């Protein structure tokens, strides 16, 4: 069945044109703009080649943010993947009332990162709810978000409050596709629950786990809202993630070239990390 | 049936479920209770922890009234509603049409074009928000509804979702209509869409929650008070006015209640949408 070209064009055109201008083009724009620098004196854009990138790597502020971003991701991504898997296994148990718990566990998925940030920001205030709970155990007041050593971990907690539940959805869906007979035969062979999890369940979850590892990595390398809302990168730059650095470059210091260079760097880092993840998890096949 | 071992493992399961439920519910509960307190009372009972921390002695709706009077939260709510609904509406039209073309039309370069669409869905919106802002500014669309709505209408993930669903339809479904002389547009609106309710619901919920919860892009493009969405308004409120805590608690509840009320009852569709784009190919 041959369809007239203009029919195809009308069906495809609106979506493709929007995708091209507002998704593909900005990507190329970022790459090109990062090679230019704006002169505030002459009001001209000047081609400077890789200068913006070279400057980044001799800039202690950038290097510090880069280190912070890598540290944040090295903790938050494995944590979210492992916890999401464990929670999904828990929700896959056939006990009475499990559907109520499932619904409840989806709740954080509906809440946005900035709103969750504000919720936890209020709870983590020095005179807030969490310190109230700690006082029950006679633990002295903690500073949390205004402590240089604790703030990054507080942000990890906040984004994971949503992240655990969100990534759990995918693992739970994959778990529900595993036929029961597989467990039954493993059970007859005398496998313990732990053995069954490691040798039966995990290999069948591999695809879903790779998917959430990649998804979590992409989302968390671009994490911005909790930093903007709660700490503005502080205290003492201890939560200065790269996405916030890119935002500040563009909107506080009007250095669009540097900002775009950071964005391009971030995308390249994500591509490299995702590439490593895909390779590492594929070789076992 | 249950042995002692099975019973113990059930107890462990319930204990773990209960502990994690507390982790999820406690923050939401504290915010809900605080939103019914006066601003002086909000932090009064938080620490040390007593029964008053959890149960308010006097309830007041003053925060829910003041938030509309004092920070013009109504405007932010309207903006979020308007932008979300328009995006979902536009998104349903353009993405379903593109999905249908990819599923049932044969043309040169279709597969490569579809791969490009899939790649765009792997570029998160956050990563291009800053360069996109520059482009939107050049177009003169900063602080306009067009600038806030248009870029997010087309979505590779939603196109994919529609294409997968439409692919399940046999060609024979359209052939007799074609022979009768119906145009593809008639077939699409009269035959295809009416039997596509599940995917329309899934796509709508997904887009609605994504839009309502979007933050970074509207922060850049809709930063003037008239165009601020709920997420941006609350975030700004939190960083700027560190006194009227009860208003903030009320704002958080109002911002969160919408996606919660959509997601929890229609969870099945949401799960189908996100997993449909994920694991199953």
CB A261 within 8 A of CB A270: no
Q: Which domain covers residue A66, as residue numbers?
A: 53-109+163-280
Interface test with A, best of B101, B233, B244 (most A CBs within 10 A): B101
Pick from B100, B157, B102: nearest CA to B274: B157
Instruction: Say how far apart CA B207 and CA B266 lie, in whole Å.
Output: 13
Chain A residues close to B240, C-beta within 8 Å? none
* pLDDT > 50? residue A271: yes
CB proximity B130 to A under 8 Å: yes
ipTM above 0.95 for this complex: no
Mean pLDDT of all residues in chain A? 90
**Count of domains observed in chain A:** 1
Q: Is residue A224 part of a domain?
A: yes
Task: Choose the closest CB to A225 out of B14, B46, B215.
Answer: B215
CB A170 within 8 A of CB A137: no
CB A106 within 8 A of CB A113: no
Instruction: Say how far apart CA A19 and CA A40 lie, in whole Å.
Output: 33
CB B205 within 8 A of CB B266: yes
B122 vs A145 pLDDT, higher one? A145
Residue A284: pLDDT band with limits 50, 70, 90 = low
C-alpha distance from residue B217 to each of A177, B122, B259 (Å): 37, 17, 19
Could you identify the residue written with the tokens 């069945």?
Answer: A1
Q: Is residue A14 part of a domain?
A: no
Instruction: Say how far apart CA A36 and CA A257 lie, in whole Å.
Output: 6
ω into residue A153 within 30 of 0, thus cis? no
Spell out the per-residue pLDDT of chain B, length 281, in tens: 456 667 778 899 999 999 999 999 999 999 998 888 887 777 777 766 777 777 777 788 888 988 898 888 999 999 999 999 999 999 999 999 999 999 999 888 899 999 889 888 888 888 899 999 999 999 999 999 999 999 999 999 899 999 999 998 988 888 888 888 888 889 999 889 999 998 999 999 999 999 999 999 999 999 999 999 999 999 988 888 777 788 889 999 999 999 999 888 888 888 888 887 654 44
Instruction: Say how far apart CA B280 and CA B123 lie, in whole Å.
Output: 20
Dihedral, CA of residue B34, residue B39, residue B43 and residue B46, to nearest 10: -30
pLDDT tens-digit series, residues A183-226: 787 777 777 878 888 888 898 898 889 989 999 999 999 999 99
* pLDDT > 80? residue A228: yes
Q: Is residue A33 part of a domain?
A: no
Put simply, the chain B residues between 3 and 42 with a CB less than 8 A from any chain A CB are 9-10, 13-14, 16-17, 20-21, 23-28, 30-31, 34
Q: Is A138 left (phi over 0), alpha (psi -120 to 50) or beta?
A: left
Q: What integer pLDDT is reported at residue A11 of this predicted model?
A: 94
Put simply, the chain A residues between 93 and 152 with a CB less than 8 A from any chain B CB are 93, 95, 98, 101, 103-115, 117-123, 125, 127-129, 131-133, 135-136, 141
Q: Is residue A123 part of a domain?
A: no
Q: Do B274 and A170 touch (CB under 8 A)?
A: yes
Q: What integer pLDDT is reported at residue A115 of this predicted model?
A: 95
- What is the chain B residue with the closest CA to A115? B252
Q: Is residue A234 part of a domain?
A: yes
Q: Do B209 and A165 touch (CB under 8 A)?
A: no
Q: Is residue A241 part of a domain?
A: yes
Q: What integer pLDDT is reported at residue A17 of this predicted model?
A: 95
Q: Is residue A153 part of a domain?
A: no
Instruction: Say how far apart CA A205 and CA A3 lie, in whole Å.
Output: 41
Q: Is residue A233 part of a domain?
A: yes
Q: Do B27 and A123 touch (CB under 8 A)?
A: yes
Q: How far is B252 from chain A (nearest CA, A)?
A: 6
CB B196 within 8 A of CB B163: no
Task: Choose the closest CB to B132 out of A12, A22, A106.
Answer: A22
Q: Do B124 and A109 touch (CB under 8 A)?
A: no
pLDDT tens-digit series, residues A10-62: 999 999 999 999 999 999 999 998 898 887 777 788 888 888 899 999 999 99
CB A258 within 8 A of CB A52: yes
Chain B residues close to A120, C-beta within 8 Å? 27
Q: What integer pLDDT is reported at residue A2 of this predicted model?
A: 65
Which long-range contacts link B183-186 to residues 24+ away (Cβ below 8 Å)? B183/A7, B184/A3, B184/A7, B184/A11
End-to-end CA gap in chain B:
40
Q: What integer pLDDT is reported at residue B5 of this predicted model?
A: 65
Q: What integer pLDDT is reported at residue A81 of this predicted model?
A: 96
For residue A93, give the CATH number of its domain: 1.10.3720.10
Residue B39 tokens read as: 């601003």
């Amino acid at each position: 069945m041959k369809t007239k070209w203009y029919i195809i064009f009308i069906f495809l055109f609106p979506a493709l044109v929007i995708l091209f201008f507002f998704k593909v083009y900005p990507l190329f724009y970022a790459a090109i703009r990062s090679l230019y620098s704006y002169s505030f004196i002459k009001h001209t854009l000047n081609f400077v080649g890789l200068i913006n990138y070279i400057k980044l790597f001799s800039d202690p502020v950038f290097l510090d943010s880069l280190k912070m971003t890598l540290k944040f991701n090295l903790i938050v991504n494995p944590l979210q993947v492992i916890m999401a898997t464990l929670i999904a296994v828990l929700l896959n148990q056939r006990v009475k009332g499990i559907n109520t718990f499932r619904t409840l566990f989806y709740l954080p998925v509906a809440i946005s990162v900035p709103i969750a940030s504000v919720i936890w920001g209020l709870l983590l205030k020095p005179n807030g709810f969490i310190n109230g709970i700690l006082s029950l155990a006679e633990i002295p007041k903690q500073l949390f978000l205004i402590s240089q050593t604790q703030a990054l971990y507080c942000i990890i907690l906040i984004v994971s409050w949503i992240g655990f539940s969100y990534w759990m959805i995918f693992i739970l869906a994959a778990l529900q596709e595993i036929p029961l007979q597989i467990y039954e035969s493993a059970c007859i062979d005398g496998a313990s629950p732990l053995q069954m999890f490691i040798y039966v369940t995990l290999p069948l979850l591999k695809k879903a786990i790779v998917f959430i590892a990649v998804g979590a990595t992409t989302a968390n390398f671009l994490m911005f809202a909790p930093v903007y809302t709660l700490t503005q990168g502080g205290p003492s730059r201890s939560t200065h993630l790269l996405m916030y650095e890119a935002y500040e470059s563009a909107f506080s210091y009007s250095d669009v070239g540097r900002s775009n260079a950071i964005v391009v760097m971030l995308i390249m880092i994500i591509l490299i990390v995702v590439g490593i993840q895909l390779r590492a998890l594929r070789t076992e096949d | 049936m249950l042995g002692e071992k099975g019973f113990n493992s059930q107890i462990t399961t319930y204990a773990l479920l209960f502990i994690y439920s507390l982790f999820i519910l406690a923050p939401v509960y504290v915010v809900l209770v605080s939103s019914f307190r006066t601003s002086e009372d909000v932090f009064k009972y938080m620490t040390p922890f007593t029964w008053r921390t959890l149960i308010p002695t006097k309830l007041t709706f003053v925060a829910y009234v003041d938030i509309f009077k004092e920070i013009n939260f109504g405007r932010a709510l309207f903006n979020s509603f308007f932008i979300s609904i328009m995006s979902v509406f536009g998104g349903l039209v353009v993405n379903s049409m593109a999905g249908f073309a990819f599923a049932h039309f044969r043309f040169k370069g279709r597969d490569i074009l579809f791969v490009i669409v899939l790649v765009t869905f792997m570029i998160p919106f956050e990563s291009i928000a800053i360069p996109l802002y520059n482009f939107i500014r050049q177009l003169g669309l900063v602080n306009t509804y067009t600038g806030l709505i248009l870029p997010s209408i087309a979505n590779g993930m939603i196109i994919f979702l529609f294409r997968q669903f439409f692919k399940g339809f046999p060609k024979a479904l359209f052939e007799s209509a074609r022979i009768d002389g119906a145009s593809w547009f008639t077939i699409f609106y009269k035959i295809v869409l009416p039997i596509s309710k599940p995917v329309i619901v899934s796509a709508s919920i997904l887009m609605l929650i994504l839009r309502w919860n979007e933050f970074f892009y509207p922060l850049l493009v809709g930063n003037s008070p008239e165009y601020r969405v709920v997420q941006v308004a609350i975030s700004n409120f939190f960083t700027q006015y560190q006194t009227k805590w009860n208003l903030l608690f009320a704002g958080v509840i109002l911002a969160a209640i919408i996606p919660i009320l959509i997601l929890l009852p229609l969870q099945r569709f949401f799960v189908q949408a996100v997993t449909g784009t994920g694991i199953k190919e």
